[in-house]
């Protein structure tokens, strides 16, 4: 290989390295535009009264809320202070059952019900696809406290966490 060929190859290599460096610097300088940061938002829904149809312990009426996320979807049900009997909450995502709580208590409960939790704790329903989703809550009562064998109504009280683009 002649000296001129080597010199030409070195010039090409230097040009490629310079171009890659310039492109890398441009990507780094514009990283926030190319990949905007996400933040987690929290929203509260309720307490909202849900009246039940039927004669059993499972409330046939569900509370549905629509949310938008980029993937994170977490929920927490909190028993409102006006509840007076045990309840389980069944979570549905886009119409499909995904999780249920154990039995939750109520403020001022006595006996075996006094040690029941008053919140579901944070429940991770994700990651989910980016976009709009529907979360539905269905309540299931238990005969105790003021519940005499039929769940007539309940209060939906939900906190929801989603990921959003940081502007």
> Residue 27's pLDDT is what?
63
Mean pLDDT for 27-46 is 75
Q: Is the pLDDT of residue 4 over 90?
A: no
pLDDT band, residue 130 (cuts 50/70/90): very high
% of the chain exceeding 70 in pLDDT: 90
Q: Write the pLDDT tens digit of every residue in 58-100.
A: 998 999 999 999 999 999 999 999 999 999 999 999 999 999 9
Mean pLDDT (the chain) is 89
Q: How far is 52 from 150, CA to CA, in rounded Å?
A: 9
CATH architecture of 38-165: Sandwich (2.60)
Cis bond before residue 49 (omega within 30° of 0)? no
Mean pLDDT for 36-41 is 78
pLDDT band, residue 167 (cuts 50/70/90): low
Mean pLDDT for 101-107 is 97
Mean pLDDT for 124-132 is 94
Mean pLDDT for 150-163 is 95
Burial of 113 (0-12, 13-18, 19+ CB in 10 A): middle
């Amino acid at each position: 290989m002649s000296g001129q060929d080597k010199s030409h190859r070195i010039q090409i290599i230097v040009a490629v390295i310079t171009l890659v460096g310039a492109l890398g610097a441009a990507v780094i300088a514009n990283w926030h535009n190319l990949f905007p940061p996400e933040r987690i938002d929290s929203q509260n829904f309720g307490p909202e009264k849900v009246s039940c149809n039927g004669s059993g312990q499972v409330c046939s009426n569900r509370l549905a809320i629509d949310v938008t996320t980029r993937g994170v979807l977490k929920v927490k049900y909190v028993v409102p202070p006006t509840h007076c009997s045990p309840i389980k909450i069944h979570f549905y995502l886009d119409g499909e059952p995904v999780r249920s709580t154990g039995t939750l208590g109520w403020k001022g409960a006595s006996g075996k019900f006094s040690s029941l939790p008053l919140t579901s704790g944070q429940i991770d329903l994700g990651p989910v696809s980016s976009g709009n989703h529907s979360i539905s809550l269905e309540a299931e009562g238990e005969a105790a406290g003021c519940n005499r064998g039929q769940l007539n109504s309940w209060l939906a009280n939900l906190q929801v966490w989603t990921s959003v683009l940081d502007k």
